[in-house]
């Protein structure tokens, strides 16, 4: 217990180590670098920074150190206290919702439990299962990484590995389905393009046949017109000959009548 209380003296250490929060790691690293710079500026290279600036930084560091130590202590006490009856009841309800396939209801209950106690390995593991069933792979993997940072998750190592295998298998299956759907879409598009090109070719051949048929009809009409013209050319001389014969017949009686009148 004394070692845990000593850990409270370092800002961000409790949040980073016991809760797996990235912000705690950032605060702990920033505090370490700031403390190192102040020690160098105070004892090794005093001329490096102005004395007033160094004193002001020391005041800020000491204030932050005290505030974070108190916060870490109260945070650690809340983490180490036994689970309440309310959290156990909420976890039982979350298990019931999980078994009934109500993923979002179970997730809401588990998130509340994890918010109250980030070191609850059982709730985190069940939350990973909920996220896996709802096909949210990346949040499930992030929760698994958070679970691996907890020392209370050592007894759940087999279950964690099993969840990792199931997630990897489902992700691979989803990728294969996506590839198959893409291949099917490409095949259908190629078939549609080939059918369209075939229909265009058949339409072109049909229009070519219509054009040849039109040309043939025009030639036939020209032939008919030429035949009619030739027939008319033959009939016109015959009509002229008939007219000349009729005129000769009319002229002969007139010639015969002319001498009698003279007599």
pLDDT, position 151: 75
pLDDT, position 149: 82
pLDDT in tens, the chain (263 residues): 556 667 778 888 777 776 667 788 888 899 999 999 999 999 988 888 888 999 999 999 999 898 988 888 887 766 666 556 677 888 999 999 999 999 999 999 999 988 888 778 899 999 999 999 999 999 999 999 988 888 778 888 899 999 999 999 999 999 999 999 998 988 888 888 888 888 877 766 555 555 555 544 555 666 666 666 566 554 454 444 445 544 444 444 444 444 444 33
pLDDT, position 46: 87
Please say whether the dihedral angle defined by the alpha carbons of residues 80, 83, 87 and 91, taken in this order, is positive or negative: positive
pLDDT, position 155: 86
pLDDT, position 254: 45
Domains of the chain (ranges plus CATH)? 2-80 (no CATH), 86-173 (1.25.40.10)
Which residues, at least 6 apart from 127, have a Cβ–Cβ distance to it below 8 Å?
107, 110, 111, 114, 143
Do 93 and 109 touch, CB atoms closer than 8 A?
Answer: yes
């Amino acid at each position: 217990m004394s070692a845990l209380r000593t850990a409270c003296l370092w800002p961000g250490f409790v949040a980073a180590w016991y809760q797996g929060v990235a912000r705690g790691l950032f605060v702990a690293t920033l505090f370490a670098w700031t403390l190192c710079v102040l020690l160098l500026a105070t004892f090794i290279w005093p001329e490096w920074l102005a004395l007033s600036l160094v004193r002001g930084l020391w005041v800020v560091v000491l204030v932050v150190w005290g505030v974070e130590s108190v916060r870490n202590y109260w945070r650690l006490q809340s983490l180490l206290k036994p689970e309440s009856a309310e959290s156990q009841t909420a976890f039982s309800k979350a298990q019931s919702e999980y078994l009934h396939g109500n993923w979002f209801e179970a997730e809401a209950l588990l998130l509340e439990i994890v918010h109250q106690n980030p070191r609850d390995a059982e709730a985190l593991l069940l939350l990973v299962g909920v996220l896996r069933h709802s096909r949210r792979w990346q949040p499930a993997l992030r929760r698994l990484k958070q679970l691996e940072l907890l020392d209370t998750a050592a007894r759940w190592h087999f279950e964690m590995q099993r969840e990792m295998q199931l997630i990897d298998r489902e992700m691979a299956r989803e990728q294969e389905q996506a590839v198959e759907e893409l291949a099917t879409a490409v095949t259908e598009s190629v078939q549609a393009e080939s059918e369209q090109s075939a229909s265009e070719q058949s339409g072109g051949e049909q229009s070519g046949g219509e054009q040849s048929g039109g040309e043939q009809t025009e030639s036939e009409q020209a032939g008919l017109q030429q035949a009619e013209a030739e027939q008319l050319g033959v009939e016109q001389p015959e009509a002229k000959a008939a007219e000349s014969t009729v005129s000769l017949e009319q002229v002969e009686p007139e010639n015969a009548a002319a001498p009698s009148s003279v007599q």
